A and B are shown apart, each in its own frame.
Chain A
Amino acid sequence: MVSIKQDIRIGFYVCHCGHNIASMVDCPEVASYVEKLPGVVLSRDYKYMCSDPGQELIQKDIKEFDLNRVVVASCSPLLHEHTFRTAVAAGGLNPFFFHMVNIREHDSWVHTDRKEATAKAKALARAAIRRVAHHKALEVKQVPVNPDVLVVGGGIAGIHAALTLANAGKKVYLVEREPSIGGHMAKFDKTFPTLDCAACILTPKMSSVGAHENITLWSYSEVVKMDGYVGNYTVMVKRKARFINEDLCTGCQECVANCIYKEPKFTDEFNEGLGKRKPVYIPFPQATPQVVLIDPDVCLNFKRGVLTDKCKKTCVEACGDRKAIDFKQKEQFTEIKVGTIIVATGFQTFDAKRVLPYGYGVYPNVYTAMEVERLVNASGPTSGEVILRDGRQPKAIGIIHCVGSRDKKTNRWCSRVCCMYSMKLAHLLKEHTGAEIYNFYIDIRAPGKGYEEFYDKLNEEGVHFVRGRVGEVTDWGMTPEEEGKLVIRVEDTLAGFVRRIPVDMVVLATGLEPQADAQDVRRLFNMSCGTEGFFLERHPKLAPVNTFTDGIFIAGCCQGPRDIPDTVAQAGAAAAEAMVLIDKGHVEQEPNTAYVLPDCCGCKSCLPLCPYTAITFDEATKKAVINEALCKGCGTCVSSCPSGSIAQNLFEDEEVFSEIEGVLAD
């Protein structure tokens, strides 16, 4: 029998959580069992402890029965620890005289035997009763929040989040790895279902970002390191060498016109490789910032990226007194301090070559949807005229949906936007070419405002919809009409037979997938990824822009495929969540920090172990000192101190050992 200090008076509450716990755990039995344990003054079971009456019950009991410790056995502390600590404090006790037991996620939800689940609940309760007796009164400390925000990624999500914050008066750093902000949306021709021009609605926002006094825009830059904690992050940004002094470049592009290469010769990334650019270039007319850059891999003044200085440098001549070109520019590293971070790093499109039967990369007239966006765009490589790679104009076009989506062999998820953008492209291609358009779909997914109506409109326009997953795109013909065409072989599941449809052009509606370096970014910002590789939100319904790291938020397609309206909504939400922290001005930190006992012999072995550099050495006293503001309570120093001279609040030896004894006792 374990003795408990005379003055300890514990109140115990076991929650039914409706049927969630009560269906698998005999709550009244747990309550009557705990009642007999030493130190327990009262023990109750109640239907919903988190309800107002449940909380009031705790407050009333504290006063009436002179309780000085409280244990609640219910759900995960992640959900309601704060609720009950507040109730305990309202009852007049220090909130840390409370301990919570998880008998739902850890017990009732994961077991199927009522008797054993009840026994487990008793054991967990017993451990908590023994532990809570050793709890000490602790203070919650407040740490100020740096009001500056870092937004990573300059697509529509990052742009919208940055502008929202900046318009509210917050200072924002917007870091984008490409030479210009704009992301995928800048490449789109029109947006569904309204068919407004993507550039017309995006570029005003882009120039606002460029001109905003509260936004520091760093394009062609990447975050390489992040340290610190919520409210106080230190971030290292790599600013890649663009060989142009951004402050001096006026965006006149005379260097481009006067480049030693008279004609554009190199793959134009912005036009998906359909067009050409020069070694010195601006990615697209509305690029923000309006600053050129030099590609050292193809510029004649470099050889394999190394400066040789062997070109005539007609660009420098053209730049003249502006002196913006700097071939000696090196990448720079800048450290910034922010309180909150919004990660909006977007997606990549599925590599169409991975679906071999569709012939992308084999047949020149098979295109990806992104390529077609550029092909129909007025500022695209053909000025908006749909001319195929072999110079012909298409008379029949097939659009294949779900390429790299809803497919066990590649990506299992629905990419959400492809049905709609396929229909948008069908409309645009019909408008540009007058061709017969065939959509090959599994299901049409048009669940948005005006989306189903858009589908109806396409049907009225005479676009064909064939329900069936395409088997292959091939060039073997059975009839004279098929010769020289691409033949789409598909089982038409509505007509019930296999069809061969000859077309001139095939468009593959490639799906959305996580960026290739999503795992690196995840590690950089201490986030988690779901199984498919998109960043994981804290709660799929109730905390969709939060991550498991406080102060770090996610927005846009880095969290999962979504369209522009949803992305913008989510970016606004992330900005609002950041403002919650900024405007409150401080964050409360769990007092679960470590502290040094007087026995410290000054061996310094803990110093290099601390991942948060919270430990310093006091030369005067020859002892280690822990900075409470920096300590995150990981316990590394506690367990590694050779003389046992470091302890940790809420994890004192007697608390942990009595908990272990309690769970093992009969």
Chain B
Amino acid sequence: MKYSYFPGCSLKGLGRAYEESLLPVMKHLGVELQELDDWNCCGATAYMAVDEVKACVLAARNLALAEKSGLNQVMAPCAACYLVLNKAKHYFHDYPAMKATMDRALNAVGLHYSGDTPVRHPLDILLNDVGLEAIKQKVEKPLKGLKVATYYGCQIVRPYATFDDQYNPTTMDRLMEALGATLVHYPLKTKCCGGSLTGTLPEAGIRLVYILLNEAKKRGADCIATVCPLCQFNLDGYHSQLKAQYGDVLVPTVYFTQLMGLAFGLSDKELGLNRAAVPFKWRPPLPAAATPVPA
């Protein structure tokens, strides 16, 4: 199994814990990743909202590079990258005028995009290519007793639900159960994390973050598992404001790959767990013999 790997800006910056956990986990499972040579901005950030043409052209260059790499599938772990690359691909097929612009721009730099290269999310690859059975075999320290709220956010299921259900995605749920974790019923799994509103319109953005954290805490979650650097940032980074405004809703938010790494027996340090603002410490429960017998 070998894929070309498009990290995007987040995985090299604020979301580097995602990359730090993703790469060893994938390696552990025998999945080879080859970082795209000379990749550029995926086209997300404000581009897509302001100028779709520019966003699509940016995305097209990455897709063309992926095609050129000879590996016919590209993995995009960041939810925003995943969406924009997929959206550009859809536009390429659906809107002839957009395709013409993309072709022209790529032609100018000697690149070509055929429109075929599948853009895959790590969850998709883990569940459908690697398989839960293979993952279970690698589990050394099952996450027994860890109560996880799986949080998917919006971009990997909307508007394109390519590998999971739009309303009730379950790929991460099944993955967490394979690692031995316990799921808490978390019906907010695709609800808005606030996105960039936390910066632009904090009274709305912070409120959305509060709802997510408050419900996770109320339902007894030890942590929230996420697939998106922006979700992780929002849920992790505003606790002082939240505390001032609503009271304490301290729940750690981790990347699903970090939990996989823990189950595979990798160390906190290797998995970038030290980077989060809200610390997450997980130790497997003591063996049954060592636990005091309840009276």
A306 touches B (CB below 8 Å):
no
Query: Which residues of B sit under 8 angstroms from A356, Cβ to Cβ?
Result: 165, 167-168
Query: Which listed residue (B165, B167, B187) contacts A475, Cβ 8 A?
Result: B187
Query: Which residues of A sit under 8 angstroms from B188, Cβ to Cβ?
Result: 474, 476
A357 touches B (CB below 8 Å):
yes
Residues 187 to 245 of chain A near chain B (Cβ within 8 Å): none
**A474 vs B211: C-alpha distance when bound (angstroms):** 13
Query: Which residues of B sit under 8 angstroms from A359, Cβ to Cβ?
Result: 187
Residues 345 to 369 of chain A near chain B (Cβ within 8 Å): 356-357, 359, 362
Residues 178 to 235 of chain B near chain A (Cβ within 8 Å): 185, 187-188, 211, 215
Asked whether B167 lies within 8 Å of A357 as measured between CB atoms, the reply is yes
Cβ distance A351 to chain B, nearest Cβ, rounded Å: 15
Considering the complex, give the chain A residue whose CB is closest to the CB of B167: A356
A478 touches B (CB below 8 Å):
yes
Residues 23 to 67 of chain A near chain B (Cβ within 8 Å): none
Query: Which listed residue (A472, A475, A476) contacts B211, Cβ 8 A?
Result: A476
Count of inter-chain pairs, beta carbons less than 8 A = 16
Query: Which residues of A sit under 8 angstroms from B215, Cβ to Cβ?
Result: 476
Cβ distance B204 to chain A, nearest Cβ, rounded Å: 12
Query: Which residues of B sit under 8 angstroms from A475, Cβ to Cβ?
Result: 187
Query: Which listed residue (B165, B168, B187) contacts A476, Cβ 8 A?
Result: B187
Residues 337 to 392 of chain A near chain B (Cβ within 8 Å): 356-357, 359, 362
Query: Which residues of B sit under 8 angstroms from A357, Cβ to Cβ?
Result: 167
Cβ distance B154 to chain A, nearest Cβ, rounded Å: 14
Summarize B's interface: helix, strand, loop or mixed. loop
**A475 vs B165: C-alpha distance when bound (angstroms):** 20
- A492-505 interface mask toward B, CB cutoff 8 Å, 1 = contact, 0 = none? 00000000000000
Considering the complex, give the chain A residue whose CB is closest to the CB of B187: A474
- A280-305 interface mask toward B, CB cutoff 8 Å, 1 = contact, 0 = none? 00000000000000000000000000
Asked whether A478 lies within 8 Å of B167 as measured between CB atoms, the reply is no
Which range holds the interface residue count of chain B? under 10
Please count how many residues in chain A sit with their CB below 8 Å of the partner chain's CB atoms: 9
Asked whether B187 lies within 8 Å of A478 as measured between CB atoms, the reply is no
Query: Which residues of B sit under 8 angstroms from A474, Cβ to Cβ?
Result: 187-188
Candidate in B167, B185, B187 with the most chain A CB atoms within 10 angstroms: B187
Query: Which residues of B sit under 8 angstroms from A478, Cβ to Cβ?
Result: 211
Cβ distance B151 to chain A, nearest Cβ, rounded Å: 13
**A197 vs B187: C-alpha distance when bound (angstroms):** 40
**A356 vs B167: C-alpha distance when bound (angstroms):** 6
**A267 vs B165: C-alpha distance when bound (angstroms):** 30
Cβ distance A576 to chain B, nearest Cβ, rounded Å: 48
**A357 vs B187: C-alpha distance when bound (angstroms):** 9
Query: Which residues of A sit under 8 angstroms from B185, Cβ to Cβ?
Result: 362
- A464-507 interface mask toward B, CB cutoff 8 Å, 1 = contact, 0 = none? 00000000101110100000000000000000000000000000
**A544 vs B211: C-alpha distance when bound (angstroms):** 54
Residues 140 to 178 of chain B near chain A (Cβ within 8 Å): 165, 167-168
**A476 vs B168: C-alpha distance when bound (angstroms):** 16
**A359 vs B211: C-alpha distance when bound (angstroms):** 19
Considering the complex, give the chain B residue whose CB is closest to the CB of A409: B166
Cβ distance A474 to chain B, nearest Cβ, rounded Å: 5
**A476 vs B219: C-alpha distance when bound (angstroms):** 10
Considering the complex, give the chain A residue whose CB is closest to the CB of B210: A478
**A478 vs B167: C-alpha distance when bound (angstroms):** 21
**A476 vs B213: C-alpha distance when bound (angstroms):** 11
**A359 vs B168: C-alpha distance when bound (angstroms):** 10
Cβ distance A354 to chain B, nearest Cβ, rounded Å: 10
Considering the complex, give the chain B residue whose CB is closest to the CB of A363: B187
Query: Which residues of A sit under 8 angstroms from B168, Cβ to Cβ?
Result: 356
Residues 435 to 490 of chain A near chain B (Cβ within 8 Å): 472, 474-476, 478
Query: Which residues of B sit under 8 angstroms from A476, Cβ to Cβ?
Result: 187-188, 211, 215
Considering the complex, give the chain A residue whose CB is closest to the CB of B168: A356
Candidate in A356, A359, A476 with the most chain B CB atoms within 10 angstroms: A476
**A474 vs B190: C-alpha distance when bound (angstroms):** 13
Considering the complex, give the chain B residue whose CB is closest to the CB of A474: B187
**A603 vs B56: C-alpha distance when bound (angstroms):** 71
Cβ distance B179 to chain A, nearest Cβ, rounded Å: 23
**A359 vs B185: C-alpha distance when bound (angstroms):** 12
Cβ distance A627 to chain B, nearest Cβ, rounded Å: 58
Cβ distance A482 to chain B, nearest Cβ, rounded Å: 11
Considering the complex, give the chain B residue whose CB is closest to the CB of A359: B187
**A112 vs B250: C-alpha distance when bound (angstroms):** 70
**A475 vs B218: C-alpha distance when bound (angstroms):** 11
**A472 vs B167: C-alpha distance when bound (angstroms):** 10
Which residues of B line the A interface, CB within 8 A?
Answer: 165, 167-168, 185, 187-188, 211, 215
The 8 closest A-B pairs by CB, nearest first: A356-B167, A476-B215, A356-B168, A474-B187, A357-B167, A476-B188, A476-B187, A475-B187
What are 9 A-B pairs with beta-carbon distances under 8 A?
Answer: A356-B165, A356-B167, A356-B168, A362-B187, A472-B187, A474-B187, A474-B188, A476-B188, A476-B215
Known: A356-B165, A362-B187, A476-B215. 8 other contacts (CB 8 A): A356-B167, A356-B168, A362-B185, A472-B187, A474-B188, A476-B188, A476-B211, A478-B211
